[in-house]
Structure 1
């Protein structure tokens, strides 16, 4: 099993109040680079930030790394528009960061990014493939693409209280900037991404399409951002079998909407509860309180954990949290996001 993780950035994440992925702009652009270092090495190596919320909730990369330590799987990180360099090995497919979706073109090279990713997907030797993502602001761009496709749109959030009305206002402004109405891109999903998406979306969609064409079983590892990718694939006429694997945190927030979306796009849905409510640890308590919820392939990784092994994952997560500077006590002893010079405001989430 291989986890392919496209990582990128979009200026959409800098819009006030829509993402927990780093409260300060100078921190947020480092988040995906730090995520992939945590996934590869268990902690940031070159990145000057450790993505931990002010309340002590670590990036989902810590959970995915904990699963990797317990069950083992290969990882391939794709540079899908990183703003900051990373010490983790990456596959370079070209393309740059995304702009604010309220500009006329959010991902000008979306079609080229899809094509390069498609070729990469067809070249992979795996029988089974899991594709994740890390891109701050990604739930807002997912909502934008779903709206442009004319799909009923409900998305998750990295924040405990989902600022969905704020996101919808941003989406309305984005569609207006691109002279689009909801549903105008129904038959042109890559145009939807070009206008109001982010650079990770065409990369995930392209890898998935190429792998499916090659006969590989594909699971989209994530929540509502992967629902948007599934919508792009179906609107592109790709009807091969497809799965989505996410966390109970996303499923609980979305209720019936997630299952209905997966049924609409003919995707098998797997939801995994990591049992974080069984531990008196600030990191796991914050997930149970609604922070972060998903990202960096977390839900897909958790779905790989055999019966009886989830306790080992929780044990390993506690060890990783200690390495990241998160105290083991309950949430009344929060930590903050840390930079090379000391604590700073910030957080992480999809």
Structure 2
């Protein structure tokens, strides 16, 4: 199994109150770069921050890394608009960081990004892939794209209290700046991304479309951000079978809305409960309290874990938290930041 992780940035994340993916703007730009290093090496090696919230909630990259150490999977990181360099090896598709959705143009070359990503996806040697994402502010841009496509628009949040109305106001401002009405891009999904999206979206969509065309099974590993990508694919005319794999944290927040979205977009849904409520570690408690929820292919990675192996993943997650400077009582001296927004069993929930 190969996990493909497009990683990028958008200035939308800098809008006050939108994202929990950074304690300060100068740190937030490093979050995706640190995420991919944690997934590749088990800890940041070049990025100057460790993505951990002040309350002790680590980036979902730590969970995905725990899965990788327990069950193993191949990894390909795609630079989908990183604002800061990363020490992890990346596939460079020539993608620039995104502007804010409040601007008239959020992603200047969305169609060209999609085409280059499509070529990469069609060249993959795999039988099946999981495609994740790391992009602070990505749930707001997901809301923007869903709105521009005319899809029912609701998204998750990396914050315990979802600032959905703030996100909607931001998207409305972006649509106004782009001189668009909701649903105006129903037949032009790349125009939706250009106006109110982020550069990770055409990268994920292009890779998925190319892989599907090559006969590769594709699972979108994430929550409502991946619902937006699935909507882009369906509006682009991609009809191949598609799956979305996410966490119980997203599913609990979204309820039937997530199931209905997957049904409408004809996507299989798998939800995995990692069983964090069974441990007393502060990092797991923060996830159970509603922080982070998803990201960095967390839900997709967890879907690879058998019920018998979930306990080992939880134990390895604690080990990784120690490595990142997060003890059982909370973060230690490590620099803090934060990250988060994101199978064919008809939406069955699994976990042990």
Q: Cα offset for 1:23?
A: 2.2
**Residues 221-240 of structure 1: CA deviation (Å, up to 9, x unaligned):** 00000000000000000000
Aligned 8 A contact 2:325 2:332 in 1:
no
**Residues 270-326 of structure 1: CA deviation (Å, up to 9, x unaligned):** 000000000000000000000000000000000000121100000000000000000
Q: Cα offset for 1:349?
A: 1.2
Note the aligned Cα RMSD (angstroms). 0.9
The whole-number CA distance in structure 2 between the counterparts of 1:119 and 1:172 is 33
> Is 1:157 aligned to residue 148 of structure 2?
no
Indicate the SS of the match to 1:320: helix
The whole-number CA distance in structure 2 between the counterparts of 1:202 and 1:316 is 33
The 3 A distance-change label for structure 1 pair 98 and 336 is farther
Tell me which residue corresponds to 2:331. Answer: 335
The whole-number CA distance in structure 1 between the counterparts of 2:333 and 2:253 is 25
Tell me which residue corresponds to 2:338. Answer: 347
The whole-number CA distance in structure 2 between the counterparts of 1:207 and 1:199 is 13
> Is 1:2 aligned to residue 2 of structure 2?
yes
Aligned 8 A contact 1:52 1:337 in 2:
no
Aligned 8 A contact 2:325 2:333 in 1:
no
Q: Cα offset for 1:336?
A: 7.0
Q: Cα offset for 1:26?
A: 0.3
Q: Where do residues 100-249 of structure 1 align in structure 2 (5 Å cutoff)?
A: 100-249=100-249
The whole-number CA distance in structure 2 between the counterparts of 1:304 and 1:100 is 35
Q: Where do residues 270-309 of structure 1 align in structure 2 (5 Å cutoff)?
A: 270-309=270-309
**Residues 9-48 of structure 1: CA deviation (Å, up to 9, x unaligned):** 0000000001100020000000000000000000000000
- Specify every segment of 5 or more residues in structure 2 that has no aligned partner in the other structure, as ranges: 342-352
- Specify every segment of 5 or more residues in structure 1 that has no aligned partner in the other structure, as ranges: none
The alignment's TM-score, normalised by the length of structure 2, stands at 0.96
Aligned 8 A contact 1:51 1:338 in 2:
no
Tell me which residue corresponds to 2:346. Answer: none
**Residues 72-107 of structure 1: CA deviation (Å, up to 9, x unaligned):** 000000000000000000000012000011001000
- Aligned residue pair count: 341
Tell me which residue corresponds to 1:58. Answer: 58
Indicate the SS of the match to 1:301: helix
Displaced runs of 4 or more, over 4 A: none
**Residues 87-137 of structure 1: CA deviation (Å, up to 9, x unaligned):** 000000012000011001000010010000000000001000100000000
The whole-number CA distance in structure 2 between the counterparts of 1:336 and 1:25 is 22
The alignment's TM-score, normalised by the length of structure 1, stands at 0.96
